[in-house]
Structure 1
Amino acid sequence: METEHLPGCYRHPDRETGVRCTRCERPICPDCMVDASVGFQCPECVRTGSGTGHGPAANQPRTVVGGTVAGDPHLVTKVLVGINVAFFVAVHAVGGEGFGNPVLRELGLIGGYYSNTDLQGVVDGQWYRLLTSMFLHEEIWHIGFNMLSLWWLGGPLEQALGRARYLTLYVLSGLAGSALVYLLEPPFSLTIGASGAIFGLFGATAVLMRRLRYDMRPVIALLAINLIMTFGWGGISWQAHIGGLVAGAVMGAGMVYAPREHRALVQWGTCGLVLAGVLAAVLLRTAALT
């Protein structure tokens, strides 16, 4: 049986792609796609003004999902890595190893309150824990693994989605993971880590690669390994991983499959639905604990 191979991008021959410039018909990969009124154009056609728009705005470079092409396509990823590392250094400078660290206990995700202490949680109105817990890590291997995953997945995804969509995807995936932890874990559980957001990037990357007809085997293999670790090792919050994965896949689908004529409405509407689901889960659990 013969296997049909897709052509390589004219600027990146090692990247197979099924998308061609609507003007010159050269094959183009996601890094080279510029959104046009119909289909996508290559950077050369946009630069020479051969597009079919009206005025400069018509040739404004866009990502594959309609985001603005940035000068530094990995800036948000770099900032996110920096924030996580800064939190890690600051938290451990305070002193105290493990979950006994006072900052981890104050900013980590705790659902309820302890009857014999003054430590409180989300149920007491400390909703900020849903967000701050996403930037906390206990051990060097914990933050190291998450930051490597963030860099490997986040850079290409940010370049494909654009900064605003990418940052929204990251934050909402992390919040979805926190919300599922809050909903299903015992009320006094302390949970930290960026894994929910990272798994959201996994979900969105898989959807994007499927949409562009890329070879899915690498991302599927990596995701399978991570899921085996999630359910095979003790002390790992599977709720955060699954919550982030599902949210990332849903938002990714909304972003890459949105019809061009209603792109913004579908993309941001999908993100709004995920946020509504997060709020519903938090409110439901809070009502059950009070």
Structure 2
Amino acid sequence: MTEWTAAALPSFSGRTVIITGANSGLGLVTARELARVGADVVLAVRNTGKGDEAAASMTGNVAVRRLDLQDLASVRDFAAATERVDVLVNNAGIMAVPYARTVDGFESQIGTNHLGHFALTNLLLPKITDRVVTVSSFMHIFGRINIDDLNWKARPYSAWPAYGQSKLANLLFTSELQKRLSQAGSPVRALAAHPGYSHTNLQGQSGRKLGDAVMALGGQYFATDADFGARQTLYAVAADLPGDTFVGPRYAMRGPTGPAWRTRRARDTSMAAALWDLSERLTGTTFAL
């Protein structure tokens, strides 16, 4: 069987795709390829200057709109100004960064990677016609959800465990969203994807010289490029897959694209429901169908 690549994308003419964090890395490649096949692509980015630069490098119908996932007011403004969308790609993320808080007081990684996208999805859901694709990570295997201290207020902060928690949250969110969509009789699907180990600008942001040096070395010798990483997202966007499919490389970091393995913790339906309830309370948004 021929390995799937972005060259196999069908026409997306007449369809609108919103991609968060699409001014660089995996998001930029995802946007570029979907614009190439005719989609009306919206780059939802915090820095619109960088978004304009990214849009200028693409062919097709590409718009740039401001969205700051670390500010729920910005998320609400973005959603309110959106008339319709066929596909939402929750791509933006930060990885293993020093401790910081969002505008709303969330730990920055769970706030950006999960809570911001959780709010955005719920607010846009009545306008979405096809699917929601959320970019997780193989690093979810190291994640544990601390439902009593999601925002690291009562325990010493550790950057990598915080990242793992946020990526596990992406998968639990996807499962619970699909459950709710199915119960509501909605044709919209929720899927997730992970890029394997792709070298992007996420690496080297921890503020720790040794750790960043190791990541740089790994990126140079072991990582795939952003095109390979974005291929997983694009497959989740375009392929006829069941809801709650997790797409990734067959061999975790490399290999043909298809359904990927997830941990037992990522299949914990009780935790998925508890995380959803907590996320609703924290963001003030609810399932809107």
Bin for the TM-score computed over the shorter chain: under 0.3
Higher Rg of the two aligned structures: 1
Q: What TM-score results when the alignment is normalised by the length of structure 2?
A: 0.25
Query: TM-score scaled by structure 1?
Result: 0.25
Q: Which has the higher strand share?
A: 2
The answer to which structure has the higher helix fraction is: 1
